[in-house]
Amino acid sequence: MRNDLEKLKQEFEELIHKVTDRDNLEALKNEFLGRKGKLKGLLQSVATLADEERKTVGKIANEVKDAIEIAYGNKEKEIIGSEQSVNADREWIDITEPGNFPSEGHLHPSTQAISEIADIFERIGFSSVRAPEIDWDFYVFESLNMPKDHPARDDWETFFMDAPEGKKGKLVLTPHTSNSQVRHMEEFKPPIRMININRTYRRQIDITHIPMFHQFEGLMIDKGVTITHLKGVLDYFAKTFFGPDRRTRIRPHHFRFTEPSFEVDISCEVWYIQMF
């Protein structure tokens, strides 16, 4: 038994010199010291020995086990050192050095403006709604009192979809956001305070126009609502969004689909600088 234990130790020492990586090193250790390893196998017959001989063999077995573990530890340090040396040669970047965080992006300016506008109107009781960007002729034109011969209902002005007509007319890419008014009134009863901010589409292409642009509008329906309320809402928005010195002006203007109608002007900061 004593000779077998010495041979086991020598065998391990011979094999460990050939190991070059940690996976094989761990496998070799388990082969000798694992639950079903060679040392465990040798000691299975210790119970049959006399007491004195069993004590001697146990002492030698512990010495062999300690020697194997020491050899294993030394070899592990050697392999780790070799790996670190190789990595140092391969990696010119010090991976332990704190890195430089990349610059973070930001929301698109249009998205930022939409969020800010919605927040301004929500403070005075308006809710944000959405309507389809592809909608029926009824919601886009008919229900808004636009006559059949209105220029906006011409193929040269509006994108009509190549799709079958339905009970509510043709499908179009919405040229304005006003389809949300009719849809909202179909679903909700007054009082109503809503705004809709959405993409719209028109056949207008030049140096200052593209076929897709954003538009927003509001709808307020209640008892006792007057033009004074409209002016107050416009003033509040202009001063909050553009600056406290801005002023608004509403002036009569003719639109064939709404009457009475107004154009809205907002004072320009550049004009104030030139004047004052």
What gap in Å lies between CA 130 and CA 183, rounded to an integer? 10
Domains identified in the chain, total number:
3
Q: What is the pLDDT of residue 112?
A: 93
117 and 174 part of one domain? yes
Residue 246 lies in a domain: yes
Residue 217 sits in the same domain as residue 126: yes
In a domain, residue 105? The reply is: no
Strand partners, 47: none
Q: Which amino acid is at 166?
A: G
Q: CA 265, CA 74: separation in Å to the nearest integer?
A: 84
DSSP annotation of 101 reads: P
Do residues 213 and 233 share a domain? no
SS3 of residue 77 by DSSP: helix
260: preceding bond cis by omega (within 30 degrees):
yes
Q: Could you please report the per-residue DSSP string of 203-222?
A: S--BTTB-SEEEEEEEEEE-
Tell me which residue of 222, 233, 266 sits closest to 120, measured CA to CA: 233
DSSP codes, 172-188: EE-SSSTHHHHHHHHH-
Domain shared by 47 and 81, yes or no = yes
Check whether residue 116 and residue 163 sit in a common domain: yes
Q: Verify that 246 and 156 share a domain, yes or no.
A: no
Give the other-Cβ count within 10 Å of 68's Cβ: 22
Alpha carbons 56 and 99: distance in angstroms, whole number: 59
* 178 and 116 in a common domain: yes
Identify the H or E element spanning 22. helix 22-33
Same domain, 171 and 255: no
Q: Which of 36, 61, 90 is the last residue of a domain?
A: 90
Q: Give a yes or no: residue 96 inside a domain.
A: no
- Considering the domain architecture, whether residues 44 and 128 belong to the same structural domain is answered as no
**Predicted TM-score of the model (pTM):** 0.57
Which of 224, 241, 264 is a domain's end point? 224
Tell me, yes or no, whether 121 and 210 share the same domain: yes
Whether 95 maps to a domain, the answer reads: no
Element (H, E) at 192: strand 192-201
Q: What CATH number should be reported for the domain holding residue 162?
A: 3.30.930.10
Q: Of the candidates 213, 179, 218, 176, which has an alpha carbon nearest to the alpha carbon of residue 196?
A: 218
- Domain of 206 in residue numbering reads as 111-224
Q: Can you say whether residue 203 is alpha, beta or left, with left for phi > 0 and alpha for psi between -120 and 50 degrees?
A: beta
Low-confidence ranges of the chain (pLDDT < 50): 272-276
- One domain, residues 195 and 206: yes
**pLDDT tens-digit readout, 51-95:** 777 777 778 778 888 888 888 888 888 888 887 777 766 666 666
Block residue for tokens 């930001």:
106
Q: Does some domain include residue 214?
A: yes
CA angle 276, 262, 197 (to 5 degrees): 90
In a domain, 98, yes or no: no
Confidence at residue 275, expressed as pLDDT on a 0 to 100 scale: 42
Question: Both 125 and 77 in a single domain?
Answer: no
